[in-house]
């Protein structure tokens, strides 16, 4: 209704917090000075399974230690729905790196040292940390995500595969991956009387207040969570992590504000990761590329504490219309850290298998990979394929592998589709008229670098019919109206909806203040809608070393209305950069004997560096999805990492003729065949 | 011990020899512009200028730097006027979460000075080439990781700050 | 990090009390101290000693002070023209920030990046003698194929040291027992059954300088490094080479391998196989094979043999053509 008048939405407004971020003024969780602040350091379990019998400490040696907490002396916590948060409550050790004690000291240096020298009396037990597709403890989970079944089947997949003129039957595997936001999880906790104040790096202040309230037996409103700026999360900060509970516990016991900033190494154990997957995918097709059957089987692991199921098969249920379709998920609990969400959970690894297998099918059928997909694509996806191909310069591609060589480099191109569900979750926003000072828009949302703050200001400005400068956004605080998590690419839709509603209510009522809760509206929203996209990659592979470089990467997206092209482009590109990492660099290596991720730092767990990112760009159709939400927006935060790894893997095949089916594609895997 | 940070002199009394320059800045002087991403020299978030050169402040013991001149992101630009590199980052959306950003900016300032001195990089093939070509900027800035993947926007930001 | 006493070194041959170590740029030592892998009682800072100059030696050649920063050395005009392999190796290592801090002496003496070594909570014969070597059965994708032992298969991570090994560099040492000099190729030792000792230095011995001899072949030299990402990553394989061809034959050659052995690996067998041979890809490959015949790859690091073979041929081939 107001769309035709809008000026702010759709404009490339610069991030509102930009000046604070480039000047160093923006404050992150660990950056709020406190009187008498103490520092905490975790003591991680050195074994993957066993029993902690005692913690022997020698406080005399480390005189600035205030307390060493462990299950023998830690305060009792109430149960929440996440057993991982029951820290220091029992003697059981569920994985290597699990916090088994907490040192609180007057200084950071003292805390770190004491944590290194604390003596643990541990009874180690035999452990099992290896995921195998034939593991005897594999089972079918009740659901992979609430409301999403583990297995589905339509048609007669076996018969269709048996009679299909063309088939592929391939197994792809993806390694464990770690989110590794640049800002490690951090909390400063302080008790103001019986009220808990947490400066915490997270994606969901409202949710974390509630969870911490449960854990400490307080109503949510007695817990105040502040997350003004967050140094990335990518899913790992979506729910309360042990650091928040430990900091609060340390503060309770010592009576001081306590800072607990996780060292990078701890980011590999206690805050979640993307579980490794093994996926067998079988596709049947007619000779002209019509898909007749797909069977997508996945195996993955979880911890013994909490069943989190990485669900690669889900994406195959909606990507292409196939008459005979079966998907299944099996999971095995092991003595490993608990996996959680990581950008494009399920979708990112699932599309590696699906889109690489389709590439293999196209090769078998001697079809152009774009054309093969175009046959089964819905209109939005089809436009992405066509326009993406055109913008990338796909046409005229010689589909044979190993045809282009420049100096030492083999050169090739590849592509893959992309998709992500269009989500929204219930949220509440409040708008207040401030007279000459404009309007205050308040919602407990979080901006992890997505541009949420800026976009909400744009939405409110248009709805209120005022310049953006007149809108004052307040987010990142649990005392503001309850908002959904910054996750599932749902933030702009969920919060924008609530802000829109509140602004409209304010204008309609003529009052000075209005609040709007979207619970009812969101409940009526269509649930089967998706964003689509297509990724195109050009790679070069060094014939001497097997090193791979992505010289060009391009994404074309159908993601509904783009609210801010400037921040949207950055989001798309950011996702694709992580896609480069997933394709070529990232792998958490688990030592089976020790049960430990051995490359648990940023020197050994490689994320893309500047030099790994050459030409990369994103464009979009910008067609509002008017029936979804008032902004017509679909999510954009995750689709960039969905399919871009497959495009790169497919390009490596085209460059070299070598098909790598276990990610990441690295020189040691390519060299023998170059 | 004396330390000059952004032009202001600080006397650090009772300094623990284990304290890094980064922790002095963040925890004692509350200059939290310099970030801690890894604490082991592996990410660049803690980059500051030490006597004009870019360094990882997380690997420097503060006690080893008596009389040093430190510039942090807070000390770039003057009185509300951003430094050209800061301006470039704003104009090109050279960041998302902003956590790597102060390190990127300090690193870029130090890097431009290295280029001005004619220092080569790993991708420099000859003396006559443009030391601020895109591939050069990328290589020279590779000591600053960005998990948000804002790299492509930083390259033009830095090039323009250099007046190219 | 354990607490320690800090002081600045005043003279060259001060020596060190037990438990004391030298501190230079700190980029490796401070890292390991934070990890609890290095636990010195005393740090003696050598960066204030007058060892931060690159000077010409009386008879030709260059003396590099041990406190010269990696970035200054890489940019030094004499190095860039006379010994390009060294400048390239330095620039291929670490990051701009780290090179601004890292010193010549510290770079040579940096310790392995073996993932078990760098975690004090894991067993490792190098950081806790007798605790075992989990890498042999576990993660060894970037560990040694040459020169390892049952006790340890760590690789030396330095790029600079590989170039120095190829250049016949000589390490100048000062210590309580007087000064001495040794070829850089004798500085690092193979692990044998005492992997906790990395080098031939005695406690308290200070590296004062590294000398580069007059070496005409070095003017045509190059460093090539393969790694897991485009920059800011340690080598998974590297070759330093210098080559002089006369009438199509190899007249003089220097060759060293990186990231394949507990020390920068001077490839003497390969050099010997090459001298006098036609400067062709076939001879280069045959020479690499001569050196790599001794390789003992494990489950996950056999690719290094192919990698080094390819790198050797490619680097030498490029040197036959290119007059950089
Ligand atoms: C993230 C990261 C990435 C890196 N990547 C690379 C890479 O790609 N390639 C590469 O080659 N290196 C790389 N490095 C390693 C870096 O080059 C070394 O840490 C650095 O060169 C060490 O020099 P320093 O002066 O800081 O040594 P310090 O840390 O000060 O000292 C190292 C050791 O040398 C001893 N020492 C120092 N000077 C002397 C002396 N004069 N006499 C006797 N003993 C002395 C010290 O006691 C100590 O044991 C990387 C480091 C990091 C942290
Ligand atoms: S290879 Fe050497 S350094 Fe690595 S674990 Fe074995 S003994 Fe330790
Ligand atoms: S915090 Fe210093 S390099 Fe990461
Ligand atoms: S902007 Fe988030 S890490 Fe760079």
pLDDT one-digit tens code per residue, C137-150: 999 999 999 999 99
A23 part of contact set with chain B, CB < 8 Å? yes
Q: Which atom of ligand 4 is nearest to the CA of B97?
A: 2
Same domain, residue pair B63 and B31: yes
The atom number, within ligand 2, closest to the CA of C132 reads: 7
- The answer to whether residue C94 neighbours chain A at the CB level (below 8 Å) is no
> CB A546 to CB C226 under 8 A?
yes
- List the single residue in C23, C87, C231 with the smallest CB-CB distance to B139: C231
pLDDT at residue C321, as a whole number:
81
Q: How many whole angstroms from C36 Cα to the centroid of ligand 4?
A: 29
Binding site membership of B58 for ligand 3 (Cβ less than 6 Å): yes
Return residues 23-42 of B near C (CB < 8 Å).
39-41
In DSSP terms, which residues pair with A646 in a beta bridge? none
User: Measured between beta carbons, which residues in chain C are less than 8 angstroms from residue B111?
Assistant: 96
Q: Is any Cβ of chain A less than 8 angstroms from the Cβ of C6?
A: no
Residue C13: pLDDT band by 50, 70, 90 thresholds?
low
Taking the CA of B43 as reference, the closest ligand is 3
The highest-level CATH class for domain A32-126+180-268 is: alpha beta
Find the B58 Cα to ligand 3 centroid distance in Å.
6
Per-residue exposure over A199-219, b if at least 16 CB sit within 10 Å of its own CB, e if not: bbbbbbbbbbbbbbbbbbebe
Distance of alpha carbon A101 from alpha carbon C2, whole angstroms: 19
pLDDT score for A528: 87
Nearest CA in chain A to C227: A547
CATH number for the domain whose boundaries are A18-27+425-523: 3.30.365.10
Helix (H) or strand (E) holding C39: none
Could you tell me the residue ranges of all domains in chain A? 18-27+425-523, 32-126+180-268, 130-175+274-334+348-356
Judged by CB atoms closer than 8 Å, whether chains meet at A14 and B90 is answered as yes
Min Cα separation C40/chain B (Å): 12
Does residue B118 share a domain with residue B67?
Answer: no
Q: What is the spatial order of strands in the sheet that C265-266 belongs to?
A: C221-227, C235-246, C249-258, C265-266
Number of domains in chain B: 2
In chain A, residues 296-355 whose CB comes closer than 8 Å to chain B:
none
Which whole number is the average pLDDT over C162-187? 97
pLDDT for A581: 98
For residues B89 and B70, state if they share a domain. Answer: no
pLDDT-derived band at A60 (thresholds 50, 70, 90) equals: very low
Query: Does A229 reach chain B within 8 Å, measured CB to CB?
Result: yes
A379 CB contacts (<8 Å, ≥6 apart)? none
CA–CA gap between residue C124 and residue C115 (Å, rounded): 10
Which pLDDT value is given to residue A3? 42
Q: Which atom of ligand 4 is nearest to the CA of A449?
A: 2
Q: What pLDDT digit, counting tens, does each position of B90-142 carry?
A: 999 999 999 999 999 999 999 999 999 999 999 999 888 899 999 999 999 99
Best residue of A11, A12, A21 to probe chain B, by most B CBs closer than 10 Å:
A21
Bridge partners of residue C241, in order along the sequence: C222, C255
Taking only residues 108 to 167 of chain C, the set having a beta carbon closer than 8 angstroms to any beta carbon of chain A reads 113, 115-116, 118-123, 134, 137-139, 141
CATH number for A130-175+274-334+348-356: choose from 3.30.365.10, 3.20.20.190, 3.30.56.10, 3.30.750.80. 3.30.365.10
Judge if B118 and B92 occupy the same domain. yes
Burial of residue C322 (CB within 10 Å: 0-12, 13-18, 19+) is exposed
Q: Strands A548-558 and A615-620: what pairing?
A: parallel
Same domain, B90 and B64: no
Residue B68 is part of a domain; what is its CATH number?
A: 3.10.20.30
User: Which pLDDT does position A62 carry in this prediction?
Assistant: 62
Contact list, B144 vs chain C (CB under 8 Å) = 95
Choose the mutation target among C2, C45, C88, C96 for the interface with B, i.e. most B CBs under 10 Å. C96
* Conformation bin of residue B39: beta by default, left when phi > 0, alpha when psi is -120 to 50: left
What is the ipTM, given to two decimal places?
A: 0.98
Pocket test residue of B35, B37, B95, B152 for ligand 4, highest count of atoms within 8 A of CB:
B95
Q: Between chain A and chain C, how many beta carbons pairs sit less than 8 Å apart?
A: 99
Q: Chains with 3 or more CB pairs closer than 8 angstroms to B?
A: A, C
Closest-CA distance, C4 to chain B, in angstroms, reads: 7
Q: In terms of Cα–Cα distance, which of A606, A622, A506 is closest to A564?
A: A622
The pLDDT score that the predictor gives to residue A2 is: 41
Q: Is A137 left (phi over 0), alpha (psi -120 to 50) or beta?
A: alpha
Distance between Cα C25 and ligand 1 center (Å): 7
Rounded average pLDDT over A60-71:
83
Do B10 and B32 share a domain, yes or no?
A: yes
Tell me: the pLDDT tens digits for A349-380?
A: 999 999 999 999 999 999 999 999 999 999 99
Active site annotation includes A371: no
Q: Does the C-beta of B37 come closer than 6 Å to ligand 3?
A: yes
Characterise A438 by phi-psi region: left (phi > 0), alpha (psi -120 to 50), beta (else). left
- Asked if residue A208 lies in contact with residue A239, where contact means CB atoms within 8 angstroms, the answer is yes
Q: Which pTM value belongs to this model?
A: 0.98
Q: What percent of chain A has pLDDT over 90?
A: 95
CB spacing of A545 vs C310 below 8 angstroms: yes
Identify the domain boundary among B42, B57, B75. Answer: B75
Count of residues for chain A? 674
Q: Any idea what DSSP says for residue C202?
A: P
Contact B134, B156 (CB under 8 A): no
Chains that touch C (3 or more CB pairs under 8 A): A, B
- Whether the CA torsion A448, A450, A455, A456 is positive or negative: it is negative
Distance CA C88, CA C78 (A): 13
pLDDT averaged over every residue in chain C: 96
Say whether pLDDT at A563 is over 80.
Answer: yes
- For B16, which of A109, A607, A614 is closest by C-beta distance? A109
Q: Which residues pair with A103 in a beta bridge?
A: A41, A68
Interval between CA A232 and ligand 3 midpoint (Å): 16
pLDDT confidence of residue A87: 98
B128 & B95 share domain = yes
Residues B97 and B39 in one domain: no
- Which of B75, B102, B118 terminates a domain? The answer is B75
In the block, residue with structure tokens 């991030």: A15
Nearest to C115 among A44, A544, A598 (CB): A598
Which chain C residues are Cβ-neighbours of A600 within 8 angstroms? Answer: 119
* A602 contacts in chain B (CB < 8 Å): 37-38, 40, 42-43, 145
Ligand of minimum distance to the alpha carbon of C125? 2
DSSP string, A138-197: -B--SEEETTEES-EEES-HHHHHHH-SEEEEEEEEE-BB----SS--EEEEEEETTEEE
Q: Which atom of ligand 1 is nearest to the CA of C66?
A: 41
| Widest pairwise Cα distance in chain A | 78
In tens, the pLDDT along B117-131 reads 999 999 999 888 899
For A381-392, what is each residue's pLDDT tens digit?
Answer: 999 999 999 999
Which structural domain range is residue B60 located in? 2-75
B34 lines ligand 3 (CB under 6 A): no
Kindly list the domain boundaries of chain C, sorted by start residue. Answer: 5-45, 219-321
Q: Is residue B118 less than 8 Å (CB to CB) from chain C? A: yes
Number of the ligand closest to the Cα of C298: 2
pLDDT band at A662 (very low <50, low <70, confident <90, very high): very high
Q: Ligand 4 centroid to B45 CA: how many Å?
A: 9
**Residues B111 and B139 occupy one common structural domain:** yes
Measured distance CA(C29)–CA(C310) in Å, rounded:
34
Tens digit of each residue's pLDDT (9 = 90 or more) over A400-434: 999 999 999 999 999 999 999 999 999 999 999 99
The alpha-helical segments, DSSP class H, found in C92-153 are 96-101, 104-109
- CATH match of C219-321 with 3.90.1150.10: no
A454: closest chain B residue by CA = B96
Active-site hit among A355, A463, A587, A638: A638
C-beta C37 within 6 A of ligand 2: no
**B47 Cβ closer than 6 Å to some ligand 3 atom:** no
**Contact check, Cβ <8 Å, C229/A608:** yes
B41 Cβ below 6 A of ligand 3:
yes
Tokens describing residue B113: 């000075």
List CB contacts (< 8 A) between B33 and chain A: 23-25
Tens digit of each residue's pLDDT (9 = 90 or more) over A1-54? 344 455 899 999 999 999 999 999 999 999 999 999 999 999 999 999 999 999
Contact C312 CB / ligand 2 (< 6 Å): no
B125 and B70 part of one domain: no
């Amino acid at each position: 209704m107001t769309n035709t008048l809008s000026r702010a939405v759709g404009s490339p407004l610069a991030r509102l917090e930009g000046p604070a971020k480039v000047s160093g003024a923006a404050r992150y969780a660990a950056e709020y000075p406190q009187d008498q602040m103490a520092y905490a350091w975790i003591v991680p379990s050195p074994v993957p399974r066993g029993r902690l019998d005692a913690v022997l400490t020698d406080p005399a040696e480390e005189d600035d230690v205030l307390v060493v907490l462990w299950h023998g002396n830690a305060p009792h916590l109430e149960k929440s729905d996440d057993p991982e948060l029951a820290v220091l409550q029992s003697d059981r050790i569920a994985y290597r790196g699990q916090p088994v004690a907490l040192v609180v000291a007057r200084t950071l240096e003292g805390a770190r040292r004491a944590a290194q020298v604390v003596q643990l009396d541990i009874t180690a037990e035999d452990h099992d940390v290896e995921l195998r597709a034939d593991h005897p403890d594999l089972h079918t989970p009740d659901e992979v995500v609430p409301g999403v079944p583990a297995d589905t089947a339509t048609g007669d997949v076996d018969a269709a595969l048996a009679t299909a003129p063309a088939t592929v039957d391939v197994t792809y595997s993806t390694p464990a991956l770690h989110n590794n936001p640049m800002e490690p999880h951090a909390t400063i906790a302080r008790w103001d009387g019986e009220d808990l104040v947490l400066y915490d790096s997270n994606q969901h202040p409202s949710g974390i207040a509630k969870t911490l309230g449960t854990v400490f037996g307080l109503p949510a409103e007695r817990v105040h969570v502040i997350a003004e700026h967050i140094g990335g999360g990518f899913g790992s900060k979506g729910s309360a992590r042990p650091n928040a509970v430990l900091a609060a516990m340390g503060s309770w016991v010592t009576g001081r504000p306590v800072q607990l900033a996780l060292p990078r190494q701890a980011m590999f154990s206690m805050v979640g990761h993307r579980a490794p997957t093994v996926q067998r995918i079988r596709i049947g097709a007619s000779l002209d590329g019509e898909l007749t059957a797909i069977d997508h089987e996945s195996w993955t692991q979880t911890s013994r504490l909490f069943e989190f199921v990485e669900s690669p098969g889900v994406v195959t249920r909606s990507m292409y219309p196939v008459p005979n379709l079966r998907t299944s998920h099996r999971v095995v609990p092991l003595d490993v850290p608990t996996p959680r969400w990581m950008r494009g959970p399920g979708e990112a690894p699932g599309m590696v298998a699906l889109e690489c297998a389709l590439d293999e099918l196209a090769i078998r059928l001697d079809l152009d990979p774009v054309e093969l997909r175009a046959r089964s694509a819905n209109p939005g996806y089809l436009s992405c394929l066509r326009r993406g191909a055109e913008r990338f310069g796909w046409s005229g591609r010689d589909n044979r592998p190993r045809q282009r060589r420049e100096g030492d480099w083999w050169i090739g191109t590849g592509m893959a589709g992309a998709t992500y569900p269009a989500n929204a979750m219930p949220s509440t926003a409040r708008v207040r008229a401030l007279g000459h000072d404009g309007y205050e828009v308040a919602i407990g949302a979080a901006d992890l670098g997505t541009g949420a703050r800026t976009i909400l200001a744009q939405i409110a400005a248009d709805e209120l019919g005022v310049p953006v400068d007149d809108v004052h956004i307040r987010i990142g605080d649990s005392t503001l109206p309850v908002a959904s998590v910054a996750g599932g690419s749902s933030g702009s839709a969920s919060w924008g909806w609530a802000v829109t509603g509140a602004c409209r209510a304010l204008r309609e009522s003529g009052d000075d203040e209005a609040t709007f809760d979207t619970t009812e509206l969101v409940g009526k929203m269509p649930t089967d809608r998706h964003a689509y996209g297509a990724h195109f990659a050009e790679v070069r592979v060094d014939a001497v070393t097997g090193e791979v470089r992505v010289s060009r990467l391009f994404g074309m997206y159908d993601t509904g209305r783009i609210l801010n092209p400037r921040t949207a482009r950055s989001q798309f590109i950011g996702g694709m950069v992580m896609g480069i990492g997933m394709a070529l660099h990232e792998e958490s290596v688990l030592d089976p004997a020790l049960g430990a991720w051995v490359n648990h730092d940023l020197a050994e767990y490689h994320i893309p560096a500047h030099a790994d990112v050459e030409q990369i760009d994103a464009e979009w159709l910008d067609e509002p999805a008017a029936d979804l939400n008032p902004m017509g927006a679909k999510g954009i935060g995750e689709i960039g990492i969905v399919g871009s790894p497959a495009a790169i893997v497919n390009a490596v095949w085209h460059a070299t003729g070598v098909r790598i089916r276990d990610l990441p594609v690295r020189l040691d895997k390519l060299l023998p065949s170059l | 011990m004396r330390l000059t940070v952004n032009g202001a002199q600080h006397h650090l009394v009772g300094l623990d020899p284990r304290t890094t320059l980064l922790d002095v800045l963040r925890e004692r002087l509350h200059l939290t512009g310099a970030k801690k991403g890894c604490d082991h020299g592996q990410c660049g978030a803690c980059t500051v200028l030490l006597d004009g050169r870019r360094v990882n402040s997380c690997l420097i013991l503060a006690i080893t730097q008596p009389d040093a001149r430190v510039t942090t992101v807070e000390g770039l630009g003057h009185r509300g006027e951003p430094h050209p590199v800061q301006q470039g980052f704003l104009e090109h959306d050279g960041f998302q979460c902003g956590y790597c950003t102060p390190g990127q900016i300090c690193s870029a300032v130090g890097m431009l000075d290295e280029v001005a001195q004619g220092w080569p990089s790993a991708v420099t093939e000859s003396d006559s080439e443009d030391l601020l070509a895109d591939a050069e900027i990328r290589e020279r800035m590779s000591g600053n990781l960005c998990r948000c993947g804002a790299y492509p926007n930083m390259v033009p930001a830095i090039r323009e700050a250099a007046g190219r | 990090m354990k607490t320690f006493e800090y002081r600045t070194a005043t003279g060259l041959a001060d020596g060190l009390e037990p438990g004391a170590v030298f501190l230079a740029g700190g980029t490796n030592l401070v890292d390991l101290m934070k990890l609890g892998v290095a636990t010195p009682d005393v740090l003696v800072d050598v960066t204030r000693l007058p060892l931060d100059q690159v000077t010409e030696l009386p008879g030709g050649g260059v003396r590099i002070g041990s406190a010269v920063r990696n970035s200054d050395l890489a940019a030094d005009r004499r190095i860039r023209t006379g010994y390009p392999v060294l400048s390239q190796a330095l620039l291929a290592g670490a990051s701009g920030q780290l090179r601004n801090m890292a010193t010549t002496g510290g770079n040579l003496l940096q310790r392995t990046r073996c993932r078990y070594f760098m975690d004090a909570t894991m067993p490792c014969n190098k950081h806790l003698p007798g605790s075992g070597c989990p890498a042999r059965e576990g993660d060894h994708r970037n560990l040694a194929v040459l020169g390892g032992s049952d006790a340890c298969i760590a690789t030396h991570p330095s790029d600079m040291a590989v170039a120095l090994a190829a250049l016949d560099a000589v390490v100048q040492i000062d210590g309580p027992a007087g000064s001495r000099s040794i070829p850089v190729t004798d500085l690092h030792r193979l692990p044998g059954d005492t992997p906790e000792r990395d080098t031939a230095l005695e406690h308290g011995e200070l590296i004062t300088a590294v000398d580069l001899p007059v070496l005409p072949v070095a003017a045509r030299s190059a460093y090539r490094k393969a790694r897991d990402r485009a920059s800011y990553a340690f080598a998974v394989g590297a070759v330093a080479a210098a080559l002089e061809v006369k009438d199509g034959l190899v007249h003089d050659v220097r060759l060293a391998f990186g990231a394949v052995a507990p020390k920068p690996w001077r490839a003497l067998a390969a050099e010997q196989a090459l001298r006098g041979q036609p400067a062709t890809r076939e001879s280069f490959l045959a020479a690499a094979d001569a050196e790599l015949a001794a390789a003992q790859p494990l489950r996950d690091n056999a690719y290094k043999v192919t990698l080094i073979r390819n790198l050797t041929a490619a680097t030498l081939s490029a040197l036959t053509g290119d007059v950089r």
